[in-house]
Amino acid sequence: MTGPEEVRCMLMRGGTSKGAYFLADDLPADPAARDDLLLRVMGSPDPRQIDGIGGAHPLTSKVAVVSPSDDPDTDVDYLFLQVNVDEPVVSDRQNCGNILAGVGPFAVERGLVPAGDDTTSVRIRMVNSGDRATATFPTPGGRVDYTGDAEISGVPGTAAAVVIEFPPGKGTLLPTGNVGDTLAGVEATCVDNGMPTVLVAAESLKVTGYEDPKELEADEELAARLREIRLAAGEAMGLGDVTDTTVPKLTLLAAPRHGGAVTTRTFIPVRCHTSIGVLGAASVAAGLRIDGSVADGIAQLPTTGDRLRIQHPTGFTDIEASLTTGPDGLPAARRTAVVRTARKLFDGTVFPRPAHTPGGPR
């Protein structure tokens, strides 16, 4: 058998996603061996992931690998891995802000960071991009408390608030150097405020932006156009050939309903997100703040304060985003913060599917 027969694992809901959290020391150090193990843990490739703990959807087939950080300015390193559902692929090409919400509590649970008497702040380095975040959450009596009255769309009930603040990234907010680009014949704004994201007016792709995600996923013409735009955006944003990756994300924009700033439909890469990722929402919020972006004439920005309500298929995400001017004269992120919740679902041992032996039974 390849790899360990059993692995210590904590399954957590982070934001509107769900994933398996591991200490790096509990996984193989070799990336290929690690990825093979994670495919067997999650039950991929199989559209139902019936023989693993994956949830048969990209939002529930995620992994966090956490370790002590050697960076004096951070406490832990967080590597995010997206485990494909129906392909034997594990990708480290992107961050995940939802799974990020569980990293701080997990680090305290595993003893990587001591808990405070009331609240604890954990400084996190996101290995995928090098970006940093600080997660603050309640730890009364020195123990993580997951109960509280914070509510986020897409998650039933309430839980303790996890406040995640992102310092300005080292990269450029506008990776193409332009406020607007024409990609595969479509006007777009490419933004990276923690997640490479392409903003496109929904009507430019002959949809309203209010459709149900399943309706959009069934639109083969739309899927083909999204692929064309992603490929063009990947080259324009310096990401290279993105055929086999989930970044950049594509977010369609429509006028807001119910008092928000904008309505969104986000694709990963052609499956429509039932909500929106935290870092994706941060990039959308920054894009709304940029004068002359494709959001002009679509978004309705508040007259005061930094908070923007990003509407999505199952509700909304509130993001606090403000911009400044960078040394190159282009817009740059100044502050980004979001309130999420997380919850420990189980903590124990996971038993991966046995490795396939050539010539033996599958």
94 has a pLDDT exceeding 90:
no
> Is 355 inside any structural domain?
no
Cα–Cα distance, 80 to 96 (Å, whole number): 6
Half-sphere exposure of residue 309: CA atoms within 13 angstroms, side-chain side = 15
Note whether 256 and 293 are same-domain residues: yes
> Is 93 inside any structural domain?
yes
> Is 336 inside any structural domain?
no
- In this prediction, residue 350 has a pLDDT band, given cuts at 50, 70 and 90, of very high
Q: What share of the chain is helix, strand, coil (3-state, %, to 5)?
A: 20, 35, 45
The angle subtended at Cα 263 by Cα 261 and Cα 265, nearest 5°, is 145
Percent of the chain with pLDDT over 70: 97
Cα–Cα distance, 175 to 194 (Å, whole number): 12
- In this prediction, residue 1 has a pLDDT band, given cuts at 50, 70 and 90, of very low
Whole-number pLDDT of residue 307:
85
Q: How many domains does the chain have?
A: 2
- Average model confidence (pLDDT) across the chain: 93
Higher pLDDT, 120 or 268: 120
Note whether 149 and 206 are same-domain residues: no
Greatest extent of the chain over all pairs of C-alpha atoms, in Å: 67
- In this prediction, residue 170 has a pLDDT band, given cuts at 50, 70 and 90, of confident
Tell me which residue of 161, 235, 144, 167 sits closest to 198, measured CA to CA.
235
Whole-number pLDDT of residue 157:
96
Note whether 192 and 87 are same-domain residues: no
> Is 270 inside any structural domain?
yes
Note whether 141 and 239 are same-domain residues: no
**For residue range 7-18, what is the model confidence (pLDDT) as tens digits?**
999 999 999 899
Note whether 162 and 185 are same-domain residues: no
361 has a pLDDT exceeding 50:
no
Note whether 107 and 205 are same-domain residues: no
Tell me which residue of 147, 189, 362 sits closest to 284, measured CA to CA.
189
> Is 357 inside any structural domain?
no
Note whether 48 and 117 are same-domain residues: yes
Can you give the residue range of the structural domain that contains 137? 7-167+342-350
What single DSSP character describes residue 159? B
Note whether 292 and 146 are same-domain residues: no
358 has a pLDDT exceeding 50:
no
Residue 285: CATH number of its domain: 3.10.310.10
- In this prediction, residue 362 has a pLDDT band, given cuts at 50, 70 and 90, of very low
**For residue range 239-248, what is the model confidence (pLDDT) as tens digits?**
999 998 889 9
> Is 172 inside any structural domain?
no
| Cβ(287)–Cβ(281) below 8 Å | no
Whole-number pLDDT of residue 4:
54
| Cβ(331)–Cβ(283) below 8 Å | no
> Is 43 inside any structural domain?
yes
| Cβ(333)–Cβ(169) below 8 Å | yes
Note whether 231 and 320 are same-domain residues: yes
359 has a pLDDT exceeding 70:
no
Cα–Cα distance, 98 to 185 (Å, whole number): 32
H/E element, 105: helix 103-109
Mean pLDDT of 323-347: 93
**For residue range 187-238, what is the model confidence (pLDDT) as tens digits?**
999 999 989 999 999 999 999 999 999 999 999 999 999 999 999 999 999 9
Q: Is the whole-model pTM more than 0.85?
A: no
Note whether 203 and 126 are same-domain residues: no
Both tokens of 88, joined, read: 């034997």
Note whether 156 and 211 are same-domain residues: no
**For residue range 23-67, what is the model confidence (pLDDT) as tens digits?**
999 999 999 999 999 999 999 999 999 999 999 999 999 999 999
Half-sphere exposure of residue 14: CA atoms within 13 angstroms, side-chain side = 31
- Mind giving me the DSSP string for 25-81? GGS-SSHHHHHHHHHHHHT-S-TT-TTSS--SSGGGSEEEEEEE-S-TT-SEEEEEE
Count the residues in the chain.
362
Note whether 86 and 136 are same-domain residues: yes
> Is 361 inside any structural domain?
no
